[in-house]
């Protein structure tokens, strides 16, 4: 592995970035952050690395004597407020060797550093992520990769940014294919939402400008925002600007802008358990579940009845996990796949259904990551893997790794014996899923019709 700087700041905290020339080695660091809300699943690895506002770094993994190999540029998640590409979770050496490719995992700014001067003042990650992709174009051949064969990949918040870049004209030609894991329906915030957050931030900073506040003050203000929106959504997430259009998640408009010809989408079976799994059962009532369904689905009574019928003993909390997972991630993936397939883009869908023995986790958001990279030893303190049998881990990692590796090399996800996963057709009734028994066919729940806000 090598860690390199891909950009550098000039002119203060929000000054214009410039490219880092050549292969400038760097000591691994992460952008400033507080402990993540998913540490109960993932463990404390993010707390091991030094924090810096100059952590514009890319970690590169390649087989020995690599030459002209296809490349995956991976953008990690973290709910827009935590995470980093340099953390040991994303050690892709084993993946690179088994899949015969080069992997570059990118750090990008998070929290209030991702908002230029104020919330709503413009998102900073697009600028640096473009510089990272351009760095790959200039330097990856020296590290064994082929700059003409680049797959952009992202998970969770990283999937948001990968999805945005795949619609951004300035990124055209910097990658050929797109993989997004657990892409959540999260339209960027508008002016009203931004100003509400700026009011909370101003109070937390006691009038100090974002550009002048200390790092500790920024983190404290970020915590205040998270607390203010607890139970209502994210305190911080991207806002609309020239790189992030308001209609980013409008499937018809998104596919018109997409500049890739192959798309791989994946999600886990119990996405929302990661976010509400540790909340007490009494925090959820049948009425609150009905309220969420009414606000996010057409024919809410039919949806509620179907969820109860599928799991008659489910608690209100379990029903909420199911409803949130469907609306925010799973059904949006199907809607996007339908639109992309209709537009002539090759699309494949993959559901991840292996479940963790950890109480309240199930097949949670992020559970697929150690299987994807096949690096269990780098997740040795992740509670979500406690009790997962080595044999199950290895067989699942092989199937998932082979599918992504094939997509990176050939543009089509397939098993190790070259059996391609189903190519999605608009209106398809099933998709490929991976559970403890291997690859299976899973029915798409098209009886559930979602409500999506009109996006300007």
For residue 148, the surrounding DSSP H or E stretch is: strand 145-155
Structure tokens at 281: 């059962």
Q: Tell me if residue 325 is catalytic.
A: no
**Residue located via tokens 């697929």:** 368
Cβ pair 72, 101 in contact under 8 A? yes
| Phi and psi, residue 53, nearest 5° | -75, 0
Cβ pair 16, 59 in contact under 8 A? no
CA distance 444 to 306: 14
Structure tokens at 312: 């008659």
Burial of 290 (0-12, 13-18, 19+ CB in 10 A): middle
DSSP conformation class of 436: T
Structure tokens at 294: 């009414």
∠ at Cα 340 (336, 346), nearest 5°? Answer: 120
Residue 74 CA: distances (Å) to CA of 211, 213, 330:
29, 31, 21
CA distance 385 to 27: 29
CA distance 87 to 49: 7
DSSP string, 32-71: S-PPPTTHHHH-SGGGGS-B-TT--EEEEE--TT--SEEE
Of residues 156, 266, 273, 406, which has the active-site annotation?
156
Instruction: Provide the terminal-to-terminal Cα distance of the chain, rounded to the nearest Å.
Output: 44
The β-bridge relationship of strands 430-435 and 346-352 is parallel
Cβ pair 43, 121 in contact under 8 A? no
SS (H, E, C) 108-121: CCCHHHHECCCCCC
> What b-and-e string marks burial along 378-409, b requiring 16 or more CB atoms within 10 Å of the CB?
bbeebbbbeebeeeebebbbebbbbbbbbbbb
Structure tokens at 333: 């993936």
CA distance 378 to 367: 14
Catalytic residues: 156
């Amino acid at each position: 592995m090598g860690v390199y700087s891909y950009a550098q700041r000039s002119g203060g905290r929000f000054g214009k970035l410039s490219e880092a020339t050549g292969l400038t080695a760097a000591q691994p660091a992460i952008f400033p952050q507080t402990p993540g809300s998913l540490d109960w699943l993932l463990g404390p690895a993010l707390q091991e690395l030094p924090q810096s506002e100059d952590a514009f770094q890319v970690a590169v993994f390649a087989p020995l004597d690599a030459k002209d190999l296809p490349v995956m540029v991976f953008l990690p998640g973290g709910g827009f407020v935590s995470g980093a590409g340099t953390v040991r979770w994303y050690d892709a050496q084993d993946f690179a060797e088994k899949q015969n490719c080069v992997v570059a995992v990118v750090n990008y700014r998070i929290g209030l550093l991702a908002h230029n001067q104020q919330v709503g003042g413009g998102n900073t990650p697009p600028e640096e992520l473009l510089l990272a992709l351009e760095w790959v174009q200039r330097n990856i051949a020296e590290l064994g990769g082929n700059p003409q064969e680049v797959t952009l990949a992202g998970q969770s918040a990283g999937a948001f940014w990968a999805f945005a870049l795949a619609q951004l004209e300035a990124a055209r030609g910097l990658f050929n294919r797109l993989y997004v894991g657990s892409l959540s329906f999260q339209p960027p915030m508008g002016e009203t939402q931004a100003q509400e957050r700026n009011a909370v931030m101003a109070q937390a900073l006691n009038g100090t400008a974002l550009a002048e506040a200390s790092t500790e003050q920024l983190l404290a203000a970020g915590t205040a925002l998270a607390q203010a929106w607890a139970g209502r959504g994210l305190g911080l997430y991207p806002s609309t600007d020239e790189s992030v259009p308001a209609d980013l998640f409008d499937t018809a408009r998104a596919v018109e802008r997409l500049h890739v010809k192959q798309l791989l989408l994946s999600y886990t079976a119990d996405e929302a358990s990661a976010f509400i799994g540790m909340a007490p059962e009494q925090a959820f009532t049948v009425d609150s579940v009905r309220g969420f369904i009414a606000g996010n689905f057409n024919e809410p009574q039919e949806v509620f009845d179907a969820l109860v019928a599928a799991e008659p003993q489910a608690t209100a909390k379990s029903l909420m996990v199911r409803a949130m997972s469907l609306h925010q991630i799973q059904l949006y993936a199907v809607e996007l796949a339908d639109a992309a397939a209709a537009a002539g883009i090759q699309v494949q869908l993959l559901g991840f259904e292996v479940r963790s023995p950890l109480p309240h986790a199930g097949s949670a958001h992020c559970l697929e990551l150690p299987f994807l990279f096949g690096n269990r030893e780098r997740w040795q303190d992740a509670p979500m893997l406690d009790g997962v049998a080595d044999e199950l881990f290895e067989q699942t990692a092989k199937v998932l790794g082979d599918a992504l590796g094939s997509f990176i090399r050939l543009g089509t996800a397939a098993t190790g014996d070259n059996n391609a996963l189903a190519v999605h057709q608009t209106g398809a009734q099933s998709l490929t899923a991976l559970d403890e028994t291997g690859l299976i066919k899973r029915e798409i729940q098209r009886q559930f019709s979602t409500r999506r806000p009109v996006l300007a």
